[in-house]
Structure 1
């Protein structure tokens, strides 16, 4: 089945047309700087890359341009899958788009206002332009929704939790689900307790026991958990009240600071990109060295927390931009987990490949893999399963 996968961000829109049987990607691209001056579309097809400078005032305009571009692709679109950041309390699994399910995406949008409204607009225009095509909503939160109550419930009054749906939702669920599926097949079903390490500009860990999410590091929003590119990760919640009262910072200012001005960027005082920070560390920059040390520390600390949720762990898998590509980061995290018996082979760790691979030593107590993620394929497979 040929599926168009659409991923609408706050000011971007990624797309990919692929076949679920062969995994072949016919075309892909990214609409950048939507609603901002200097917007453009980068498109890749048959090994050729083109850039189209075009005004993109909103996401509806962007998706219309995408459909115009895809007319040149000699492959029919048979279904459309939409990555939705926040499914809230309505989506324990992916669902076909109807008036009702689209309404749910908008209803839960206050939990992810920069994403869900844009995603709903894109779904709406896809239905208008191609009423004959089925659309499927694939929320990032769905995989985590049925984790045990002791993991998702916060220790705040029940009426607040129930009325405002305050709980741990997590994120990167589609990626973590793909990693479980791939690791399970790759290890011939010998993996039972996996910690999936999605380490990128946004980062989260997920404890997966025999395919079931047991816990994850992101919370009500993607701000919680690990130190990330520009997000602070877990801090004392009272930090917000303190800065509001003492520093006279508004809630919006604190929100912006914690989401866009913190994390590796703040600690390194150099960049949110781990490659720049690693280069800085190698040049003797102490702030960059501290940023990396904090990243290793928090990742290893929360890895142990994820293992505790399953009362054990037999496999860990690195994925996403940093997890797949940074030899230094993987080694740093592994060194911090040596007390748990984690050992990785430096030569295996240095190998670059697009295929899943083992990088641990034979005597490592925990099997360590690098697994390139493929959220688009996972979304496309859900479309195929629901639309047939």
Structure 2
């Protein structure tokens, strides 16, 4: 009898400490997870979403320092479909010291998208990740949206991983200088794994890196209404396999620091296997060229870069800091040092294959059509 009572007690204890329901599961977290009302602060523990559910993002969802959000393969999150809802209130953010694990696969990516009946760019904010990496704007910066602290002295910091993410109709904005991107990395360290992200119809940049040292691979950025790919503020990292199509301003905007173009730690970005395709729609004007070498530019190395439909190769900052970087050979394209007097795309791009197939979507990106 005594053994039976102990066994029953053990079962009851297990039931209370391993709580889960149809919304997903939580591991010692006080967060209340709701499928149709996904918002609030995940203050502790681990929250794991249920891939069989479609979640409705009804406000800001913030993963606080020390907590973890895990999103399994095949999970879909849609923004609040309510007509008139403020899109700036709809975003997913990860604090410095928190973790997000987006565990998509090629066959079953994680999808974050608009819930509107007729989705458009800027229907909701986007995904914001903050880390403890070095940023040349100073420690404890505040993200331009979400108001989260970022930046520190640990370029090896990990914020988790992002694998096979589709993110659409993002980029809502508060003002001309304060807006969301598809995915924003603020001071994110190299311990974070980033691969296979597809952004589509972002009202601002598709993907942006503010300092930090996170590396990334296999980025597909389609139809961005500011710059497609952006890095700034002392970003130090390598990005491999980038396919960009639908360029409104710059295909890639690379900066060092808006206030001081020569400040250190200096941006040092290495990009390889890149296709930048202007796009046939008249709204894609590439008004800031294939590359915008901005705010001092920093160090930028491009290998196997292909460009289609953009005649002038670069828009170049006229300041002395940018001139010094160019004179030092720190703006290098397909084995050539950029020279301001020679600024035609044909001078730097000839027989390159870019992301793999020139202007055509490369085979490694075929998963977005599955």
What is the TM-score with the length of structure 2 in the denominator? 0.27
- Give 1 or 2: higher helix fraction: 1
Task: With the length of structure 1 as denominator, give the TM-score of the two structures.
Answer: 0.27
Larger relative strand fraction: 2
Q: Which has the higher contact order (CA 8 A, sep 6+)?
A: 1
